[in-house]
Structures are given as C-alpha cells and as structure tokens.
Amino acid sequence: MARVNSSNRPLLLLRDTRILAILIFVLAFLLFKSSPQHPIGDSKYSMMLSQCLIEHHSFQLDHYNVPRLPAVVRHDYVMNGDIYQIEQVGPHLYYFFPPGTSILSAPFIWMFKAAGISAVNGDGSLSLNGETKIQSLIAALLMAVLAAIIFCTARLLLPISYSVLVTLGGALGTQIWSNASRALFTDTWAVLFLTATIFFLLANKVNGSKLRPVLVATLLAWAYIVYPSYSIHVMAISIYLLTVLSWRQLGIYAMTGAAWAGALVIYSWHNFGTVLPNYFRPGRLLFGKFWTALSGDLISPSRGFLIFVPTSLFVIYLVVRFRQQLQHRALVVLALSAVVAQLLMISGFDHWWGGHSYGPRLMTAFVPWFVLLAILGISAMLRQGFRNTFERVATACIGILLLAVSIFIHYRGASKAATAAWNSLPQNVDAHPERVWDWRQPQFLAGLINPAFPPNVPLLTENTVIDFTREDANKYLWYGWSIAEPESRWTDSTHATLIFSLNEIKPLALTIRMAAFIVPSRLEKQQLIIKLNEKTLTTLQLENRDLADFTVQLPQQLLRSKNVVTFITLDAAKPASFNLNPDQRDLGIRVATVTVRSATQ
C-alpha cells in the first residue's frame, strides 16, 4: 500500500468536504457572532415564550410580568396596547407570531440559564438584554450550520473553489448575514430547514441518495410552523416529489405531514379555540397594493431583492446563458416556480416592505433557491465553457464584482447602526413607506451619505421649545440622531444636525438641556463642538451624566434664512464596547430640549 507523504496530509484534509464544512461552520459562526447589529423586533418575547415552555409548560405569557394594556383591535388579532408582539385572547396573553421558533429554541434555554443568561428578569418582566443575547447566539449558530450546508450542497456538483464562492455569496451576500443571523426572525429556523431540504433533493438527483419521506416532511412541516409563508415552498416541493417518490413513499410523506398539521391544529384549538392561530390565516393577504409591492420587492433602493442581492442577476444570467447544458432541469423549474410564487404572495401584503427591517427581509426564502440555481448554472458553465478568452474574463470579473457588492451591502446591515436607524429617521418608514423608493438615501448607504437636505425647513420663532422626546421634534432634525426616548434623545454618530428657518434674522440664544455619554473611569468626558452654518460657535468639555442647561449664542452675522446647527462629538462611543449592554450606537450626547430665545433676553 502506498504511503501518504505526511507533508501533503494538511492539503488532503482540506480537500475533504466534511473537514471544510466544519471549518466554514466555525468561521461563519465567529463572523455572525461578532457582527454587532441585533435588531429585536417581531421576535421580541419569543425567548420569554421558550422559557415559559420550559418553566411552566404553557404558551400563556400570563406567568410573567407582561403588562396588560388596553386592547387594540386589528383586522387579524387583538393587540396588547402598543406591544404588537403580544395578542390578547380572552383573559390570556400570547406571543402573536408563530410558536415554532420558541418551541425549537426551548432546549437552548437550559444552557443559557446555566450560564446565567435569562430572557426574564427577577421580577418576571422581559429582560431585553437577555433576550438579545440568547437570540443572537442561537441565530449565529443556526446560520453557521446553514453556511456549511450550502458548501456541502455546492460540492455535490462543483469543485472546491467554486463551492467556496457559492458559500460566500449565499451566506454573506444575502439576507442570511444581514437578517437571519442577527436575531431569531421567523425566517431563521425556516430557511435552515428549506436549505437542508434542497440539499437532500439535489443529492438524490446527483448521486442517487435515498430521499427519506419522514425527514423531508418533518423539515417542511416545521418550516411552515415556524413561518406560514413557507407554505409556498411546501406546496412546490410536494408537487415535485410526486414525480420522484414511489406511491409508498408518498403515503409516508403525506401521513407525516398530516401528523404535524394535526399537532398544529390541536395546539391552536387548545389555546385559541380556532383551527389555526391568527397569524396563520390567509385573510392577512389583501393584495391591495399588489403592483407597488411587486415592483418595490424587486427594484426599490431600500427593499428590492435585485438591488440588495445583485449576485442574483448574475445567477439568472448563468441559467439563461448556459441553459443548453443545465442538468436536473426539474429542479431548475422547481426553484424558479417557488421564487415567483413567493414573490407574488409577499406582494399581497399591504405591509410589503416588512416594517423596521433591513432590505428584503421578507424574501429571505429566496436565498436557498438562488444558491441551487447558482450551483446548477456554474456547473453548466464549467461543462460548456466560453467562446473566447474575453467572455471568460468578463464573466469572471462581473461575477466577482457583484459578489463583492452583495457582501458589502449585507455587511453594512449586519454591522452599522445607521442602517437600522434609517427605518425611524428622518421619518418612520411605516408611516412613510414611500421612503423605500428614495435613491438619494438608500438604506444600505445610511451613515455613509447624509440625507438630502429637507425641502421644507421648519420655522423657528422666539420662545420655541423643541422637545426631543416627542416625534414632533423630527422635523427639526436632519441626520445623526437616534429615536426619541422617555427623557431625551441621543446622537448616534459623531455629527448630528439641527435645522430651522427664520423670518427675521437677528441674534438668538439656544438653551440646550443635555448630558454626555460618560463611563466612569473609562470615558470621563465628551468634547462637543457646536457649529452654525459651518462656523464654530463653541467647544465644550462635557463631564455630566445628568441633564443640565447650556446656552449657546447664535450671532446675527452667521444666521441665514435656512440654518444648520451641527453637534460634533469626537468622543462618541458604543456602550457595547464597554460591555454595558448590546447597544451599538455611537453615543455622544443626549438632548432633552432646545429652547430658543432672543439674545437680548
């Protein structure tokens, strides 16, 4: 038997798909874990429910100190005041979103509790810090597994180099990094199950691996239980399986799916007295804004899938250009059908932009299908080849460029607080969804470019008090501010601006009630520079953590009909960098009020 040269052993190991998959899992987990943005929106209270299942064996959140607020009746459920994640059902409180994520995540709660991390405070109230830590770690773990599955799927048809490129594109150049790995969105578990299912489908075609109907049915059933919009993919794959499975296997597949469906019905009937929970009802699809939603889901600068995942255009090119050499065309038809069907369904939601999210979050399920199409397209390209060197080089350059752009876009969503603040400032995107069409301020560039100067600058008069805790203050704020909080509002970058117009230009005085972001013994002061229309007015050394009044004079010679006051905090820092909490905003000062008076007063 020939002996293997020990010096070549590391290279041989790196050619082993399993070893490389484990390496990709570890690297992806470390990257996802270290990416700082963790927006907890729809998934808020989901880990409290997981803990409730462990501690009280109940889906009712009455066991904890969740405030019962006046009921708000919506068309699909009764909301608990302004806590939209909680629904009121008779005398009980329930988590409104699908229970699948909480059920599947419950086993992790034991480990986190052993490590001293809990989603519930000692008084029974929600621990947002604990909820965030738990969700971010589980999401990073699940999406690292997904990255490894993508690599293994690509290796069924592609060499290692191309498999790595597909993995980079699928895991880092899509919503997987910027959304699904950030917190336990409804997609996080579901897209993992869908990706695993697609791996089994391709393995069956490539090497004849046996499809296990119980496993496939269970994966798809739980994808639906986690997120009902995956019913589209369940139906598409079920139709495909009619041509693949034997009658006996189809019977097992159908019975397994029916068993899981029965369990969901029992859960719903026991807790709500209905066949399906409110979130699962198709009546939520209204199709009232279909054409706007359809175009917005594809090409709007802040929600369009083709804008946020430009590699998808390259994948479409590969499939069309090398269509004659495509293998497993039934899978190509399946992928395209599933994508088109879900696009049509998502466009049926009046709330099609997905609320306060990053990019095309509602189209996360597109990712595993485009990964499959990329694998099949690249495989066809490698078999057919190119007509000439120019085409080969041009194709490679365009592909790498689009991959780099995709990764950059989703890096910003996973790492930059300004992209999350974009949803609230300068206007709430839910109240002004037309913002998703504004090419002057696309979400993925928030923080890199300033918003366009507002066309309507609010008039300021003497004795005006701008209350920064109220939404009405937003009209005076151009960029650099976070959302309103009960006592004040923080700057969230080194530069923040206040704008106003004047009918009469005369000397004014601004009394600013503010405080600095201070960390005792670690960050002792904030140097604040205040400018008016690009001219420095004053430099302050702020050492106060409590709100105090500071008066700044606005000289007549510097004032104009439209004015910009700029606050520059060179010592702004992230609370997370001091391990105070998960907050990734660059905090400098917080402002409660700005009062305008005549300089003579």
Q: What is the CATH number of the domain that holds 567?
A: 2.60.120.260
Residues with Cβ within 8 Å of 495's Cβ and at least 6 positions away in sequence, in order, are 479, 480, 566, 567, 568
Q: Which two tokens stand for residue 309?
A: 């995942």
Residue 63 falls inside a structural domain? no
Residue 172 falls inside a structural domain? no
CB atoms near residue 148 (< 10 Å):
24
Residue numbers in the chain where pLDDT is lower than 70: 1-15, 283-284, 600-601
CA–CA distance, 218 with 268 (Å, rounded to integer): 19
Residue 578 falls inside a structural domain? yes
Number of H helices, E strands in the chain: 18, 14
Strand order in the sheet with 535-542: 495-501, 562-569, 526-532, 535-542
Residue 235 falls inside a structural domain? no
Q: How distant is the alpha carbon of residue 210 from its chain centre?
A: 35
CA–CA distance, 362 with 355 (Å, rounded to integer): 10
Q: Which two tokens stand for residue 202?
A: 């391709």
What is the model's pLDDT at position 318? 97
Residue 483 falls inside a structural domain? yes
Q: Which two tokens stand for residue 217?
A: 């049915």
Residue 400 falls inside a structural domain? no
Which residue from 293, 429, 318 is spatially nearest to 380, judged by alpha carbons?
A: 318
What length does the chain have? 601
Contact 495, 564 (CB under 8 A): no
- As for how many domains the chain has, the answer is 1
pTM of the predicted protein model: 0.86
Contact 518, 526 (CB under 8 A): yes
What is the model's pLDDT at position 11? 47
Residue 54 falls inside a structural domain? no
Q: Which domain does 489 fall in, by range?
A: 453-598
Strands (E), 77-148: 78-80, 83-89, 92-95
Residue 562 falls inside a structural domain? yes
Which residue from 455, 429, 452 is spatially nearest to 440, judged by alpha carbons?
A: 452
Residue showing tokens 């369940």 = 234
Residues with Cβ within 8 Å of 88's Cβ and at least 6 positions away in sequence, in order, are 68, 71, 78, 79, 80
